[in-house]
Amino acid sequence: MSVDPSVKRVVLAYSGGLDTSVIAKWLEVERGVEVVTFTADLGQGEELGPAREKAKAMGIPDKHIFIEDLREEFVRDFVFPMMRMNARYEGDYLLGTSIARPLISKRLVEIAHETGADAIAHGATGKGNDQVRFELSAYALDPDIKVIAPWREWDLTSRTALIAWAEAHQIQVPKDKRGESPFSTDANLLHTSSEGKVLEDPWEETPDYVYSRTEHPEDAPDTPEYITIDFEKGDGVALNGTAMSPATLLAALNDLGRKHGVGRLDLCPRAPRDRADHARSGRRASQGRTDAPLRRAGIQRPLVQPRARNAAGGLRSEPGESGGHRPAEALQGSGERCRSKVTPLALLGGACHLRGRCGRIRPEGRRRLHQTQRAPFAPSRQTRQIIARSRFATKR
């Protein structure tokens, strides 16, 4: 573990939970730095007062404890633009967790500038996507900011080791943290997503207690409720004729969704581990469980098999080919260096992203997702002369 002696003060993304409480104390004990905590209220539904008390209990002065209500900014500047563009990861996976990370990073960097901090720190693990979201957002705003990610550095590699370190440094460990949680959650005003052991078998029905924000559809009212939403420039501004701020409108829609059992999504994007309870989806967990039969059927192969390489290391030509990359190669590379394989289901689900038109990928298309069509390659005169000479030399 390398320690940067120039770092004297760090702004930590602090939730008040066990992990970030240990990180705050670890930064002080192992790194010898002064810690500033930042806790964002994004509508996660938790009382944030305890976060301040826990930070004070660890000796952090009140002037270095930041707790801010970012709900309006979150919905106005992040959620609504996301909805306007119908942004989804791989065309299917909702962005409830990821859309909040840039805003947290933005405030981390701003607070670092306000307090004279040299670095920021986060509690994302070293194997997930959150570390990338936090850090790239921070570097985009301040390329010179330093980032400390304790989960990539320390030797606390298990829950048992984390709890033992916390107890040794007088950090209170809640009783519900001593055993292994059946699932973990991330929440904000837009969503609550859950993942964990009880959700890892796609053949097992999701336990109803996982869905914390919606009534079970079978318990929902039998009488429909009709609402109207007013929009200006693509953003919602009023519900049933009553003007509302962005966060207030989303919260009101969440209440309606909870009452009527709307907003459940049971999703296996790439591995059978992620389930979500979203405020904007109308799919039921008891319906549309196409992920399990498809996974059972073994539909995990590329649309077009990668071409083999010849003895010289080049791509072997196949009958009827006109050269260039084929659709599967444009999406997943070629030969033994290809990336994760693309399934027919994923390709068909994302087909609408191809130059704004729906339809399947045609073998002759040579299209790339989210890219405009490139003009055909026209070699220069000098290039044609080189090709002609090489062909002549080969014939000789």
Domain ranges (residues) in the chain: 9-177, 184-296, 299-310+326-365
Is 286 a residue of the active site? no
Is 101 a residue of the active site? yes
Task: Report d(CA 36, CA 62) in Å as an integer.
Answer: 9
Is 357 a residue of the active site? no
Name the CATH topology of 184-296: Argininosuccinate synthetase, chain A, domain 2 (3.90.1260)
Cβ atoms 174, 138 nearer than 8 A: no
Task: Report d(CA 346, CA 341) in Å as an integer.
Answer: 10
Dihedral sign (CA 167, 171, 176, 179): negative
Task: Report d(CA 277, CA 183) in Å as an integer.
Answer: 13
In this predicted structure, what is the pLDDT of residue 173?
82
In this predicted structure, what is the pLDDT of residue 157?
84
Average pLDDT of adjacent 10-residue blocks, the chain of 396 residues? 83 93 95 96 87 92 96 97 91 89 97 97 89 96 96 89 91 70 84 84 84 91 95 96 97 95 80 41 34 31 38 44 38 37 33 35 44 52 65 56
Local structure of residue 126 (DSSP, 8 states): T
Dihedral sign (CA 70, 71, 73, 78): positive
In this predicted structure, what is the pLDDT of residue 322?
40
Residue 175: CA atoms inside 13 Å, Cβ hemisphere, count? 0
In this predicted structure, what is the pLDDT of residue 212?
87
What is the total residue count of the chain?
A: 396
- Which residue among the candidates 181, 184, 212, 390 is catalytic per the annotation? 184
In this predicted structure, what is the pLDDT of residue 260?
94
- Which residue among the candidates 101, 107, 133, 275 is catalytic per the annotation? 101
Is 339 a residue of the active site? no
- Which residue among the candidates 15, 19, 21, 367 is catalytic per the annotation? 19
CATH class of segment(s) 9-177: alpha beta
231-257 per-residue burial string, b: 16 or more CB within 10 A, e: under 16: eeeebbeebeeeebebbebbbbbbeeb
pTM of the prediction?
0.67
- Which residue among the candidates 52, 105, 118, 130 is catalytic per the annotation? 130
39 membership: H or E segment, kind and range = strand 34-41
